[in-house]
């Protein structure tokens, strides 16, 4: 394809900025135990429903915990037997996920990457299926805030992936048309969101739970990680 001129980049968070399996496997197991109130059999069942190996905590490609939002997970778990109300479980999971920021493993020097892209005049944003508070905490921890024109989570009012709303929100915040935006993510939800919004470039990375087999047909560009993004776009 002829690559369009890109003026802005909207990043997913987990699996894109953050190495998903290295960062989230223990938290996934903890989330299952929380929802099951410590019942080992129920924990295993809930994790399996969410696409997570109940022994390792590793998420399967595009499973619910890897690509869904907290409300999606809470609803599925309540329906599968978690002894919580939907609202309470959503709140407890959001609190757990936000606390996981301290253990997040970045895929590269994020501050350096964002500074380099910003120096090129690109508008940058983050759109996650995590909560807005968790996105903001991640940006703060890794020194990304000075380079961000936009950030949002599933609870920011832009809708949820794979709907187009988060890309629309980024465009509204930056004044950019969608065809001047690259969306970078690790899941089919990210790629479908980008396609629905008419994003100019869909970039998939392999640092999340998605696989090359599932992501290659959905993306314009498939990279091992965002560590090579600047070179891939501008070399």
pLDDT in tens, 202-225: 999 999 988 999 999 999 999 999
Helix and strand counts by DSSP (H, E) for the chain: 11, 6
Low-confidence ranges of the chain (pLDDT < 50): none
Task: Please count the other Cβ atoms lying within 10 Å of the Cβ belonging to residue 197.
Answer: 23
Asked if residues 133 and 98 have their Cβ atoms less than 8 Å apart, the reply is: yes
- According to DSSP, the residues that pair with 11 across neighbouring strands are 126, 184
Quote the CA–CA distance of 92 and 223 in Å, as a whole number. 34
pLDDT for the residue 209? 85
Q: How far is CA 63 from the centre of its chain?
A: 12
Phi, psi (deg, nearest 5) at residue 151? -150, 150
Q: How far is CA 141 from the centre of its chain?
A: 16
**In the chain, ranges of CATH 3.40.50.1000 domains:** 8-19+106-234
pLDDT for the residue 200? 97
Residue in this structure with the two tokens 């109300």, named with its chain if needed: 85
Quote the CA–CA distance of 129 and 203 in Å, as a whole number. 17
pLDDT for the residue 80? 97
- Reported as half-sphere exposure (CB side, CA atoms, 13 A), residue 76 has a value of 20
51: left (phi over 0), alpha (psi -120 to 50) or beta: left
Asked if residues 46 and 212 have their Cβ atoms less than 8 Å apart, the reply is: no
pLDDT for the residue 227? 97
Asked if residues 215 and 194 have their Cβ atoms less than 8 Å apart, the reply is: no
pLDDT for the residue 161? 95
Largest Cα span, the chain? 54
Asked if residues 58 and 25 have their Cβ atoms less than 8 Å apart, the reply is: yes
Token pair of 185, please? Answer: 């993510």
User: Which CATH number, 3.40.50.150, 3.30.505.10, 3.40.50.300, 3.40.50.1000, labels domain 8-19+106-234?
Assistant: 3.40.50.1000
pLDDT for the residue 1? 56
- Total number of residues shown for the chain: 235
Quote the CA–CA distance of 219 and 81 in Å, as a whole number. 37
């Amino acid at each position: 394809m002829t690559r369009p001129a890109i003026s802005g980049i909207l990043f997913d968070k987990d699996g894109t900025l953050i190495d998903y399996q290295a960062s989230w496997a223990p938290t996934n197991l903890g989330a299952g135990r929380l929802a099951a109130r410590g019942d080992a059999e129920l924990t295993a069942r809930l994790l399996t429903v969410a696409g997570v190996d109940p022994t390792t905590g590793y998420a399967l490609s595009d499973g619910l915990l890897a690509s869904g939002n907290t409300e999606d997970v809470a609803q599925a778990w309540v329906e599968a037997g978690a002894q919580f109300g939907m609202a309470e479980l959503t709140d407890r999971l959001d609190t757990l996920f936000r606390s996981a920021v301290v253990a997040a493993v970045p895929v590269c020097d994020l501050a350096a990457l964002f500074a380099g892209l910003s120096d090129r005049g690109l508008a940058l944003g983050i759109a996650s299926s995590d909560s807005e508070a968790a996105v903001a905490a991640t940006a703060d921890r890794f020194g990304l805030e000075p380079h961000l024109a936009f950030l949002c989570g599933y609870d920011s009012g832009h809708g949820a992936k794979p709907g187009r709303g988060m890309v629309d929100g980024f465009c509204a915040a930056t004044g950019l048309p969608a065809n001047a935006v690259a969306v970078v993510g690790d899941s089919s939800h990210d790629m479908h969101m980008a396609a629905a919004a008419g994003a100019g470039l869909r970039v998939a990375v392999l640092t999340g739970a998605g696989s090359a087999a599932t992501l290659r047909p959905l993306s314009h560009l498939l990279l091992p990680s965002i560590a090579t993004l600047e070179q891939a776009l501008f070399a």
